[in-house]
Amino acid sequence: MDVLFNFGYLDLIFITSSVSLLLLWVRSRRPSDYPPGPTPIPVIGNFHNLVNKDFMQSLRDLRQKHGDIFSLSLGTFWVIVVNGSDNLKEILIKRGEKTSDRPTFFVFNLVNNRGIISASGPSWKHHRTFALSKLRDFGFGKRSFESNIHEELEIFLNELEKYDEQAFDISEIIHTSMSNIVMAITLGRRFDYKDPEFSYFVQLLNENFNNAAVLGPVNFIPILEKLPIDIFGAKQMSKNVERCNAFLQNEINEHEKTLDENNIRDFIDAYLVELRQERDTDNYFSGANLLASIGDLFAAGTETTATTIRWALMYLLNNMDIQHKMWKEINENVGSGRLPSLSDKPNLPYCEAVILESLRLGNIVPFSLPHTVSEDIYYKGMKIPKDSVIFPSLDSVVYDDSLFPNSHIFNPERFIDENGKLCGQEKILTFSLGRRVCLGESLARLELFLYLTALVQRFQFLPPEGDNPPAVEGKLGVTYSPILYKIRAVRRS
């Protein structure tokens, strides 16, 4: 009897294991109508195709082998990588009603899919519309907000002078300055650069942006979050989000105590009034969504701008002739007696071209943020299935030689036509495209112009004394940011 029992038990284990492996094998097989791609391995899927090189280079190599639209089996998801400007416009704009949701990734679940960036469906639409409307009321991205940026810019420039032409890393101070501009809109006040709580808040934000690439596998295999050892940094990121939320929640609590519905000071006030007036019969608005929305505004209004400025300065260190030409245009059209303003923009096309080229070659968001598909899509004879994840490869546009000849070279002249006028701005997709275009684009463009022209107007930027310019290298997190480097800011006479 024992022999029969043992035989039956082992047989059951064998059958169960075989069925499980068969299901995994079937799951890993690519249906014939899906976009082509490398052969998945049962259980592992296509992770092995991404680990031997840097992530961007892996996807570039896969594109060369499988075409502009290819698929990968990653964890529980089919991932569709979309390359090329025309394909991106088709999938994200023309098919946008089916491709505007976010996948159920760990990084989005950190805020329970609330707010603006992480949310999907009606809640996302309501919050994006509300945020854009209220931010415009506060001058977000408009000429009327220029004086607010100039105030923060003057403080920032004075901080740079304190380094007294000694080499320093500009990354922390530029992130702090950008955060302060968003603070003015959302919280109604700025913080001193040395405020310990504010500095800690900015540090936590930067850590999460920089460490997001390591976190990647957890998005596709959620059980990895439960590992006792925090190999992928998921637990640390969760703690960082909690600490950031605690900082922002204190600000919300203070606003609730001092709220005057007849004197709306900032975005928090506007949201609290919306909550009190109970016009939201579908309950899309809540305290949790307010908290998530503020965090999103910091992400949208800080990281892209700060990172682009760091890339621009790195390129200017490596191209002193371009830096000089930029300064010459500013000196001839603005002078040194006042800060450049938006009214100067038509007279500073070369400066604007440097900004556009920094946005392009800096490749700040090479894959945008992932989208998910709400209904099956058929395109070019291929099926992009419901619930698959779309990786929009903006990286493929950056290095498209048909759009940007000699695309690997930093050349602002590509955005200047034969009449000396700015051209080709529409080719820049740094802020993504379609319904999920970056909420902070208008503010970012305003800040980039005012900050970079003011920086070159007041300072000549040089490598540390005796050193060569920094290598043009980057690191992929949520954004693709330049490696840390030091710079000297020498006051122009």
Query: Annotated binding residues, as ranges?
Result: 438
Alpha carbons 88 and 393: distance in angstroms, whole number: 8
Q: Are 251 and 269 in contact (CB under 8 A)?
A: no
Alpha carbons 14 and 6: distance in angstroms, whole number: 12
3-state class (DSSP) for residue 168: strand
For 423, other C-beta atoms within 10 Å of its C-beta total 15
Q: Are 30 and 40 in contact (CB under 8 A)?
A: yes
Q: Are 98 and 375 in contact (CB under 8 A)?
A: yes
- Give the chain's largest Cα–Cα span: 99
Kind and range of the H or E run holding 474: strand 474-476
Handedness of CA 63, 65, 68, 73 (dihedral sign): negative
Q: Are 297 and 267 in contact (CB under 8 A)?
A: yes
- Residues making up the annotated binding site for heme are 438
Alpha carbons 129 and 339: distance in angstroms, whole number: 33
Structure-token pair, residue 174? 């530029």
Backbone angles phi, psi at 489, to 5 degrees: -110, 105
Backbone angles phi, psi at 81, to 5 degrees: -95, 120
3-state class (DSSP) for residue 414: helix
Alpha carbons 252 and 245: distance in angstroms, whole number: 10
Alpha carbons 100 and 347: distance in angstroms, whole number: 38
Give the residues across from 480 on adjacent strands. Answer: 476
Backbone angles phi, psi at 263, to 5 degrees: -140, 80
Outline where 29-145 has alpha helix (H).
Answer: 55-66, 85-89, 106-109, 121-137
Best CA proximity match to 388, nearest among 402, 372, 401: 372
